[in-house]
Amino acid sequence: MNVKGFRFSAVEAAIKKPGRLDLALICSDAPAAVAAVYTTNKVKAAPVLLDMERTTSGTCRAVVVNSGNANACTGDRGMEDAREITSLVAERIGAPEHEVLVCSTGVIGVPLPMERIRGGIAPLVAGLGSATLDQIAAAIMTTDTFPKLEARTGTAGGVGYTIAGIAKGAGMIMPNMATMLAFIVTDAAVDPQWLDRIFRRANDTSFNAITVDGDMSTNDTAIIMANGAAGNPVLSEGSEGAAEFAALLEEVLLSLAKLIVKDGEGATKFVEVTVKGARSDADAKRAAMAVANSCLVKTAFFGQDANWGRIFAAVGYSGADVEPDRAELFFDDVRMVQGGVFAGGDAEARGTGVLRKKEFTVTVDLHLGDGRATVYTSDLSYDYVKINADYRT
C-alpha cells in the first residue's frame, strides 16, 4: 500500500528482540496539513509532550516511530533524546525540526538506547521509498499479533484520492487514547482547521470507543497527515466531496479501532456493546463503558456464561441515570431482561448460544430518552494474565 507523495522506511535498530523491525519513518515529500490527538493520561511520555507542542503549527513533514521503548518517565533525558531523534531526521530530509514528530511505544521507565537509534537513522532515511505502509504497520507493533492497515479511496472535484491508516494496540487500551498509536496519511488536499475538527470527531467514535483492559497509557497518539499530492480542490466544511471524505475517514479509524480490539492481548471474543434509550449520549457512553470495562463481565464472556446480572450491575454503578424496571437487555436478538427482570423461558440457553460465538452484540435499552452510544471490547482470558506477567521478561 502506497499513497501519493508519501514515502516509508523501516529498519531493525535492535530496540526490540532481534529480527524485528523497530524503527520506522513516514515522510511526506511536501509539508502536509496535520492534526493529532493524544493520551489524556496526566503522566505523558516525552514524545507526546514534544508532539503536542509541534502539531499546533498545523504542518508536518515526517513522523519517526520506535517500538520496544516508550521513552516515558525518563525525565529531562527523555525529552533531550526525543528532540535529538527529530533533529537527526530533519537534517537528513531537509526539513525544519519542528515539522518532524516522534512517537514511541514499549516499556515505561527505561531510557532509549540512543546509540542504536542514532545508528539506525541514517539507513532509515536512506531507505525512504523502500518500504510499504504494511511494513510500517509491522514495525510499530509490540504485543500485537498482526499488523493493522486500512484504506479507502474517494473523489473530490473529479480527482481521486486515498486515505490509508495503520495502528498498533493490543494492551492498555481504554478510550481517551490508551496504549495505541495510529497514523493516517492521505494525498487529499484538506483545510487544516477542518481536518482537525473531523479527525477529533472520528476519533471519538472509534479509538475513544474501544477498551481491552481499561488501562490508559502514557504514549498514545493518533496523527493524520494530508499532503494534497492528489491535486484535488481543497476540502473544507461544506465543500464538494467534504462529506464523503469525512465519512471515509471515520470508516478507516473505526476499522482500525475494531482490529485493535480483535487483537487485544489474549482476546478470544469481539463484543459490540450498545446502550440506547438513555437520558443523553453521555449517559449512554458511561453505561456502555462500565459494561465494556468490567472484569466480571469480560471473564463471563470468556467463559461463555450468559451472566446478564453482571452487565445489569455495571450499568447500575456506571453513573448513568437508570430506572431498572424499564430496562431491557439483549445478547444479539435474544432478550435476556425485560422490565428489569430475567425474561425467562429459553433465554438462558439461547443467550449461552450467542456467547459461544467469536463476535456478538450486547444491547441495553434503558427506555428513558434518545441517548445512544456504542463501544467495542474483548473478553478477558488466561492468556491476558500470562502476556502481561511476562511483558518485561
pTM across the whole model = 0.90
Contact, 8 vs 136, CB < 8 A? Answer: yes
Task: List, for residues 343-377, the tens digit of each pLDDT value.
Answer: 988 999 999 999 999 999 999 999 999 999 999 99
* Of 58, 104, 59, 106, the residue nearest 84 (C-alpha): 104
Give the per-residue pLDDT at 51. Answer: 98
Give the per-residue pLDDT at 16. Answer: 84
Give backbone dihedrals phi and psi of 28, rounded to 5 degrees, phi first.
-95, 135
For residue 143 the three cell numbers come to 504485543
Whether residue 133 has pLDDT greater than 50: yes
User: What is the Cα–Cα distance from 180 to 170, expressed in whole angstroms?
Assistant: 8
Contact, 156 vs 240, CB < 8 A? Answer: yes
The CA distances from residue 256 to 143, 184, 205, in Å, are: 16, 10, 12
Mean pLDDT (the chain, rounded): 93
The pLDDT-based confidence of 214 (bands split at 50, 70, 90) is low
Lowest mean pLDDT among 88-102, 119-133, 169-183, 293-307: 169-183
User: What is the Cα–Cα distance from 307 to 300, expressed in whole angstroms?
Assistant: 7
Give the per-residue pLDDT at 389. Answer: 74
User: What is the Cα–Cα distance from 103 to 54, expressed in whole angstroms?
Assistant: 13
Give the per-residue pLDDT at 332. Answer: 98
Q: Which domains does the chain have, with CATH numbers?
A: 6-262 (3.60.70.12), 270-389 (3.10.20.340)
* Three-state SS annotation for the chain: CCCCCEEEEEECCCCCCCCCCCEEEEEEEEEEEEEEEECCCCCCCHHHHHHHHHHHHCEEEEEEEEEEECCCCCHHHHHHHHHHHHHHHHHHHCCCHHHEEEEEEEECCCCCCHHHHHHHHHHHHHCCCCECHHHHHHHCCCCCCCCEEEEEEEEECCEEEEEEEEEECCCCCCCCCCCCEEEEEECCCECHHHHHHHHHHHHHCCHHHEECCCCCCCCCEEEEEECCCCCCCCECCCCCCHHHHHHHHHHHHHHHHHHHHHCCCCCCCEEEEEEEEECCHHHHHHHHHHHHHCHHHHHHHHCCCCCHHHHHHHHHHCCCCCCHHHCEEEECCEEEEECCEECCCCHHHHHHHHHCCCEEEEEEECCCCCEEEEEEEECCCHHHHHHHHCCCC
Give the per-residue pLDDT at 293. Answer: 92
- Sign of the alpha-carbon dihedral angle for 15, 18, 22, 23: positive
What average pLDDT does this structure show over 300-308?
A: 96
Contact, 43 vs 72, CB < 8 A? Answer: yes
Task: List, for residues 101-123, the tens digit of each pLDDT value.
Answer: 999 998 899 999 999 999 999 99
Contact, 190 vs 237, CB < 8 A? Answer: no
Task: List, for residues 250-260, the tens digit of each pLDDT value.
Answer: 999 999 999 99
What average pLDDT does this structure show over 130-141?
A: 93
Percent of the chain with pLDDT over 90: 82
Give backbone dihedrals phi and psi of 186, rounded to 5 degrees, phi first.
-145, 145
The pLDDT-based confidence of 175 (bands split at 50, 70, 90) is very low
The residue from 179, 218, 221, 363 that is catalytic is: 179
Give the per-residue pLDDT at 215. Answer: 60
Give the per-residue pLDDT at 174. Answer: 44
**What CA dihedral angle connects 310, 316, 322 and 326, to 10 degrees?**
30
**What is the longest distance spanned by two Cα atoms in the chain?**
71
For residue 198 the three cell numbers come to 473531523
Give the per-residue pLDDT at 50. Answer: 98
Report the chain's C-alpha Rg in angstroms. Answer: 22
Contact, 322 vs 337, CB < 8 A? Answer: no
Active site residue 179: yes
User: What is the Cα–Cα distance from 27 to 183, expressed in whole angstroms?
Assistant: 12
Beta bridge partners of 289: none
User: What is the Cα–Cα distance from 105 to 217, expressed in whole angstroms?
Assistant: 10
Cα separation of the two ends of the chain = 34
Whether residue 387 has pLDDT greater than 50: yes
